[in-house]
Amino acid sequence: MSVEDRIHPDDSVGIRRAWRDLGDQEGPVLRICVLAGFTAAPVVPYLGWSLVGAGLAPLIEVGPFNQVVQQCLREDSEAARFRPDVLVVAVRPEDRAAAGDGDPDEEPDRIADAALAAAGRWGSLLVWVLPPLPLRRPGGVGDPDGVMSRAVAARERVRRRMNADPHACTVDLEDAVRTVGTRRSHDDALYRFARIPFTEDVFLRLGEDLGRVVAARLGQGCHGVLLDLDLDLDLDLDRLAEAPELDELAALLRAVPVHRPVAALRNGSTPSREPVWSGAGPIHELAGATASSLSGFSEQLGVTVSTVVLVTTPGGVECAAGAGVRIVTWDGDPGPAGVALQASGALDTVVPVTTALHREARADPGDDVLGRPGIEDFLAGLGGDCFKIGVFGPTRRAEVRRDGHGQ
């Protein structure tokens, strides 16, 4: 059993230790840059470990907090020099308002402009982290200013823009906050001290979600589901749902996207017909031992075993241990099984756009074909008399003193 198999997905300490102790990895390096309006370093081990579990070799850099636009627009910024394969951007209205950077409702659109332009120049996949809904409501109950509705509108504007770009996608931080619980997701003291707004549990779940999305976009998401339940039942889920103890399992499996193959391991003879269940694709049947069936199923799909989800009983977990497969345990309780099925990626609908880790830039850095703002536009938007400072010499220093002090 590998080190990864021994770490529980919710074991934040174990994941951080495993990421710290991780040695050199084989295969092409996946370069990921994280830019955020807050200190995002805590997400690194969880994002990294999630990608390692998907068979990728991530190299993750975190840019300076609250400098997203500057990092995206300047060609000599740390992010530009890093030339990431994946650019992750996370900004919250609260962080921009605290910095006094313009109208918080309009800031996401301006930052999205810069991020899309940078991703296009660098040939990066852009992953935009939708911010959670504001924790505090200045207007209280019946807020006439509609803080929450404006936040929702801003989120949806950016979501639509990202969905329209084939090289961009979104991850919703609100999902992680809701999973942990609003009251247990924020750390005000740590935010005041280090600009870290969330607790470790939120970063853990955000890292997992980011890892799943990135892996899926690079072709390492879930490609099939194999049922190994030792059930002597017709696999037509319309009939399977008639069994009271299995109707919840049927409901869970109907949520698997129609394009994702589902197969069932059957210990007896194979029926002559191929059963089909309404609302999704057919369930194919396989015969044989769990390990050999996993190998055969993945080979039939042309994918690695690590991209197959195995739904099995508690007794079948040991048989599959060490195979590198994603395991969902069915013990009759739909609650934990549903959570595990969601976490496995079996229900994800992320469309892979490329399996290459390095793509050509979609626009020349010198071209303004996208009509995106440059660093000059950003500085002009700050108001006042702003100017770019180039290489300093005696004459330049005198100009700066004159322009800055009116002398």
**Model pLDDT for residues 169-192, shown as the tens digit of each residue:** 999 999 999 989 988 999 889 999
pLDDT at 350: 79
pLDDT at 139: 62
CA distances for 239 relative to 67, 247, 374, angstroms: 57, 9, 61
Give dist(CA 403, CA 387) in Å, integer: 9
- For the chain, what percent of residues have pLDDT higher than 90? 34
Return the SS3 of 61.
strand
Q: Whole-model pTM?
A: 0.76
**Model pLDDT for residues 215-257, shown as the tens digit of each residue:** 999 888 888 888 887 654 444 445 554 555 567 777 788 888 8
- 275: confidence class by pLDDT, cuts 50, 70, 90: very low
pLDDT at 267: 55
- 261: confidence class by pLDDT, cuts 50, 70, 90: confident
Give dist(CA 187, CA 239) in Å, integer: 49
Domains along the sequence of the chain with CATH:
4-217 (3.40.50.1110), 224-344 (3.40.50), 375-405 (no CATH)
Mean pLDDT of 289-315: 80
Is the pLDDT confidence value at 384 over 60?
Answer: no
Which of 298 and 83 is assigned the larger pLDDT? 83
Least reliable range by pLDDT among 7-11, 12-16, 196-200, 296-300: 7-11
Mean pLDDT of 357-362: 46
**Model pLDDT for residues 29-83, shown as the tens digit of each residue:** 999 999 999 999 999 999 999 999 888 899 999 999 899 999 999 999 999 999 9
Return the SS3 of 70.
helix
Return the SS3 of 370.
coil
CA distances for 232 relative to 267, 269, 271, angstroms: 8, 10, 11
Contact present, 236 and 275 (Cβ < 8 Å): yes
Which of 143 and 332 is assigned the larger pLDDT? 332
Contact present, 236 and 284 (Cβ < 8 Å): no
Of 115, 111, 90, which Cα lies nearest the Cα of 173? 90
Is the pLDDT confidence value at 130 over 90?
Answer: yes
Which of 236 and 201 is assigned the larger pLDDT? 201
Q: State the angle between helix axes of 12-21 and 44-53 in degrees (0 to 180), rounded to the nearest 10.
A: 80
Identity at 72, one-letter amino acid code: C
Which of 4 and 335 is assigned the larger pLDDT? 335
pLDDT at 312: 84
Q: Is 332 left (phi over 0), alpha (psi -120 to 50) or beta?
A: left
Output phi, psi for 49, to 5 deg.
Answer: -70, -35
